[in-house]
Amino acid sequence: MTNDEIKVAVIGVGYVGKEHARIYHAMEGVCLIGVCDKDQKRAREVAVSLSTKGFADHKELLDKVDAASIATPTQTHFQIASDFLKAGIPVLVEKPMTSNLEEADRLAALAGQKGVALQVGFVERFSPVIEAAKKLNINPKFIEAHRLSPFRFRSADIGVVLDLMIHDIDIVLHLAASEIKKLDACGVAVIGDKEDIANARITFASGCVANLTASRVATRALRRMRIFSPDSYISLDFGQKSGYLYKKSDKLTTWRDLKLTGDVSTIADLKGFSFGDLLDIHEIPMPDFEPLQKELEAFIHSVRTHAPPVVSLQEGRRAIATATQILEAIKEHSWEGE
């Protein structure tokens, strides 16, 4: 299949799926065979706009494609992905891979049995922000993440942990590269019957601690992360595609020396320092590319060369397992007055 055109389909062409279809349509070496959606009008409209065919049932595509993106509601991921994997067709499944750990394990077993690639759609892993941050080789000791968004009404079948926090769960697991030692979480439902606000604190065996906050009832979108190491930290903004590196400056040594001596004649010099003076601040150069484009190119490369997916099903499974722990901790949390 190395030099052949890869035939792909997109299952589910809502907000995210339409972007998958758009990128595949323009991608060199790829033929968008069709798009599928239970809303036949939507499928037809997207198909016409991209000069392809619309389908109402994903099973109609099983004998027509080499690969598929699945961007349907989370509750449908397991069945649709299973049908393609059973047919020997590699799939990219949008996050979260499934709505529960049992289904994730069954998909992993099926993919292994069939020898077929299953890539999980954690698009933030392909963000220029993460790519730039990884090049700095910071040894994380504390990670703080905030992911906030207005309620979008398109992921009402799951709560904010599986909807938004799952991105930061994946990133933190990837950066910490250590087993979880302890996990605490709390959350509350605001609009529906599933949590809309959640906070989790994860302690890893390495000693690294991560504090994650997610909300889908905010007035504006915000996606930020700070990663601290013993001698520096980086501040990342996924939305703005920007980042800054903060490192100790030589002035910090001077400040410490003055503070430790306590010399009356020099202690007044401390007033001449501000916190900003003690740091060297550098803007992190960011590559310019579309994360989803890079994610889909990586998937097609995996299909074409049979290379392991960049985001493996094992990583997708671990993210689901951690999210499950967080959801269980939220259920166990007792709010005063309840």
Task: Look at residue 264 in the predicted model and tell me its pLDDT.
Answer: 42
pTM of the complete model: 0.89
pLDDT of residue 34: 98
More confident residue, 186 or 312: 186
Provide the strand spans (E) within 277-318. Answer: 279-283
What are the beta bridge partners of residue 198?
187, 214
pLDDT tens profile 59-111: 999 999 999 999 999 999 999 999 999 999 999 999 999 999 999 999 999 99
The per-residue pLDDT for range 125-182, each reduced to its tens digit, is: 999 999 999 899 889 999 999 999 998 776 678 999 999 999 999 999 999 999 999 9
275's tokens: 């916190």
In the CATH scheme, what is the homologous superfamily, with its name and number, of domain 126-289+324-332?
A: Dihydrodipicolinate Reductase; domain 2 (3.30.360.10)
Cα dihedral sign, 149-154-160-164 = negative
CATH topology (fold) of 6-124+291-311: Rossmann fold (3.40.50)
Mean pLDDT of 295-303: 98
33 touches 24 (CB < 8 A): no
Q: How far apart are CA 299 and CA 65, in angstroms?
A: 14
Structural domain boundaries in the chain: 6-124+291-311, 126-289+324-332
